[in-house]
Amino acid sequence: MSKRTLGVLAATGALALAAGLAGTGTAQASPSATLYGCPSGYVCFYQSASVTSPIVFKTAGNWYGGEFSTQAVFNNGKRFPGADHVRYTFHYPTSPNTKHTDCMTYHKTDSEIVEPGESAGFIERHVEKIEWVGSC
């Protein structure tokens, strides 16, 4: 084979590997609906204690770094063994050195009715880390 053919094959293999790895650690997206502004396969954090308020942060994968303030969360992820629950680490504004964790299960239907454990409203939290995990 020519050097050019080998180069094309190597690049194709690298792209295929990168595409395969890019899907790890994320919830499986449903072909259906965005609910409460949150795309299918994402976890969304909201400005106030309601999922109808503006979204301040959303992600379909793990997130580390930075910090944002929120008062509600909705896991619009779908069933995906090993990565359909969302565990997030946070602190309260009055105690930044005390870390807490919470975990949300995935939204199990395409219904707009959110079951307990799929969403929560709370007093202000500052989120520092988000991980997709298999269970809470």
Total-model pTM: 0.75
Tell which residue, 115, 121, 83, has the closest CA to residue 102.
Answer: 121
Cβ within 8 Å of residue 20, ≥6 positions away: none
Map out the domains of the chain as residue ranges. Answer: 3-133
- What does the pLDDT profile of the chain (136 residues) look like in tens digits? 444 333 333 333 333 333 333 333 444 434 468 999 999 999 999 999 999 999 999 999 999 988 999 999 999 998 899 999 999 999 999 999 999 999 999 998 877 888 878 888 899 999 999 999 999 8
